[in-house]
Amino acid sequence: MPDVKEKAVSSNPLMWIRRLTQFAMLAVLSQWSFYGIFRCPYLVPFVNCQTCPVITCWGRITSLFWGFWALLLVSVVFFGRVFCGWACPGGLVNQLVGKISVFKMRIRNRFTEIAPWGLFAGLALAVIIWIGLYNPRSMIPIRVGEFWSSIRLSFEHASVIWLVRTFIVLGLVVAGLGIANLWCRFACPTGGLLELAKRFSLFRIFKTSACNDCDACLKICEMGARPDETNCTNCGDCLKSCPVDAIKIGKKGVKS
Amino acid sequence: MEEKKDGMERRTFLKTMVASTAAATLGPALLHARQFQADSLQVWSCGGLSEAMNIMNTRYEKKTGIKIAYTGAFAAALGKSLLGGAVTEVFCGRVLKLAKDLRAAEKMIYFRPLCFTEYVIITPLGNPSGIKTVQDMARPGVPVLLPLDASPPGSAMMGILKQAGIDKAVLANNLRRETCVIKMMPQIIDGTGKASIVERRLTRIPKFEGKVEVIPIPENLFPPGPLTFTVGVMKYAKDRALADDYVNYLCSDEAQAIFERQGFIPSYSDKGRMLVEKLGVKDA
């Protein structure tokens, strides 16, 4: 007899559409994402692209920088934190790593209640460094160069603080092998920003009053979240998981 | 209607046209490529040259069909890597001492003078604070922005200010120690800072060109160290003839004109030749 998860996966084509979309967005955004982590000379990546000395970065040589932030804003207005679940290349990597992680942490307890505050701590730190400290350049930028050899040179000539920042990020992604989606659920500053903004979104996935708190939706969620609660990214994976059909998608404030 | 008997048939004409166009387009590249054993060349340069090098590499690739695998970054960092275990075939470094050190370490076979940089004052368009000389940057209340924590501009700035005897006064006017000169430029353009000192090449980057006023600084204030760029063939060059040909191209009139357009002083210009003598940019 299929369990709740298998049943939800087989009956919800949206999950496959989402995964395909994630891979498509990986093709569009991945190079910029990996530049941000491995070759961006600033402590907070993705925010100074237009004045970055790295000539070959995709965020700079295309209109990706402005297009990305505009797209992100639009996505937040309509669907809250949907970027995390549908478009973020880092999110896809984390979710794939999460498939083999030891602890899925799809439960409600004190830890999963408190740990998401890490998103806001990450956001606060990023804002302080970006605006308060003018986002210092902390690594010798490899302005032009082949991708992998440039990464090697970047690490070779980076300052201690840049190395600390980069290894913390990479370490938290690797720690996703222990706790599924650790970075996305408990540390990502962008996720923290979207988490704050999502309450103003027009549409969302939500629970109706028929919800009996069985947590079937939580068991299927890669982010270990329930609809319209902290870390819900409106990914849609849970839409077919509810045994009492209490999960809906629609306009904010128009609950059926 | 009379049929045309003389002249070329249409099909022959088209074949000839296609063949001629292909020969004209690919001929020089194939001819060059056949001269060399290798079909690619690894080139490292100081990051300050990157914009100019990108243009020249594209042209060289088009001319010869040789692929240039190019890396541009802070020369001292690349030089440190090269003095360690890193390998490249041609290196265009800043600071004469670096080229000499690579020669002394027998990592570089030879070097030639490539070009020189020069420093200028920049202000927002309209020069709202009426800056005419570096001394004006020391006037009380003039908000200046200096990339003091950037490398290498930071040390050069301080050298200029110390030589002018105004370092303390200008530092008192400095809004903050910028870590990146490219990141700083928009803050001069938008008037946050009313003056700064940068290399002229910054004012020729398309994004900044024509958006700031450029005021020359007397040469006697320049610290000599960062002025010089050299190009050298490394001992790791897989095809020495190709490496030599590339170096010759960088020193050609065509490439030197690109350096000049990008805000450098070509080493084979009159001023460049004077600087070669003055700074002693000669391979032993």
C-alpha distance from A52 to closest chain B C-alpha (Å): 6
Token pair recorded at residue B260: 């000049």
Secondary structure element (H or E) that encloses residue B110, with its range:
strand B108-116
Q: Secondary structure of chain B: what % helix, strand, coil (to 5)?
A: 50, 20, 30
The percentage of chain A sitting over the pLDDT mark of 70, rounded to a whole number, equals: 93
SS3 A235: coil
Give me the helix-helix angle, A64-79 and A189-197, nearest 10°. 40
pLDDT at residue B32 in the model:
60
Q: Is the pLDDT of residue B25 over 80?
A: no
pLDDT at residue A91 in the model:
95
What is the distance between the alpha carbons of residues B79 and B146, in angstroms, rounded to a whole number?
26
For the segment B171-192, the average pLDDT, to the nearest whole number, is 92
What is the distance between the alpha carbons of residues B268 and A118, in angstroms, rounded to a whole number?
59
For the segment B160-178, the average pLDDT, to the nearest whole number, is 93
The percentage of chain B sitting over the pLDDT mark of 70, rounded to a whole number, equals: 87
Q: Would you give the DSSP letter of residue A131?
A: I
For residues A234 and A85, the answer to whether their CB atoms sit within 8 Å is yes
Give the global pTM: 0.79
pLDDT at residue A30 in the model:
86
Which of chain B's residues have a Cβ under 8 Å away from the Cβ of A145?
70-73
Amino acid at B233: V
pLDDT at residue B134 in the model:
95
pLDDT at residue B8 in the model:
60
For residues A139 and A37, the answer to whether their CB atoms sit within 8 Å is no
Mutate which of B61, B71, B176 to test chain A, going by most A C-beta atoms within 10 A? B71
**CB-CB: which of B70, B73, B149 is closest to A153?**
B73
Token pair recorded at residue A91: 């999110």
SS3 B43: strand
Return the number of CB contacts < 8 Å for A and B: 74
pLDDT at residue A141 in the model:
87
Q: Is the pLDDT of residue B1 over 50?
A: no
**CB-CB: which of A137, A150, A156 is closest to B183?**
A137
The percentage of chain B sitting over the pLDDT mark of 90, rounded to a whole number, equals: 74
ipTM at complex level: 0.71
For residues A158 and A139, the answer to whether their CB atoms sit within 8 Å is yes
What is the distance between the alpha carbons of residues A246 and B1, in angstroms, rounded to a whole number?
85
| pLDDT band at B85; cut points 50, 70, 90 | confident
Q: Residues in chain A whose beta carbon is closer than 8 A to a beta carbon of chain B?
A: 41-42, 48, 51-53, 55, 134-138, 140-146, 149-150, 153, 156-157
pLDDT at residue B3 in the model:
47
Looking at the DSSP assignment, which residues form a beta bridge with residue B233?
B90, B110
Looking at the DSSP assignment, which residues form a beta bridge with residue B73?
A142, B46
What is the distance between the alpha carbons of residues B266 and B272, in angstroms, rounded to a whole number?
6
Which of B51, B57, B58, B96 lies closest to B202, judged by CA?
Answer: B51
What is the distance between the alpha carbons of residues A185 and A107, in angstroms, rounded to a whole number?
13
**Average pLDDT of chain B, as a whole number:** 90
For residues B179 and A137, the answer to whether their CB atoms sit within 8 Å is yes
Please state the separation of Cα B36 from the chain's center in Å. 26
Burial A172-205 (b: 16+ CB within 10 A, else e): bbeebeebbbbbbbbbbbbbbbbbeebeebebbb
Length of chain A equals 256
Q: Is the pLDDT of residue B98 over 80?
A: yes
List, in order, residues 6 or more apart from B139 with CB less than 8 Å away: B129, B173
First to last CA, chain B: 80
Mean pLDDT by 10 residues, chain A (256 residues): 55 88 92 89 89 81 76 94 95 94 95 96 96 89 87 90 95 95 97 95 94 95 95 95 93 60
pLDDT-wise least confident of A59-63, A82-86, B2-6, B156-160: B2-6
Token pair recorded at residue B234: 């490394």
What is the distance between the alpha carbons of residues A217 and A211, in angstroms, rounded to a whole number?
10
Residues 158-187 of B with CB under 8 A from A: 176, 178-180, 182-183, 185-186
pLDDT digits (tens, 9 = 90+) for B116-153: 999 999 999 999 999 999 999 999 999 999 988 887 66
Token pair recorded at residue A90: 């880092």
pLDDT digits (tens, 9 = 90+) for B197-233: 999 999 999 989 999 999 999 999 998 888 999 999 9
Give the phi and the psi of residue A207 in degrees, each rounded to 5.
-95, 140
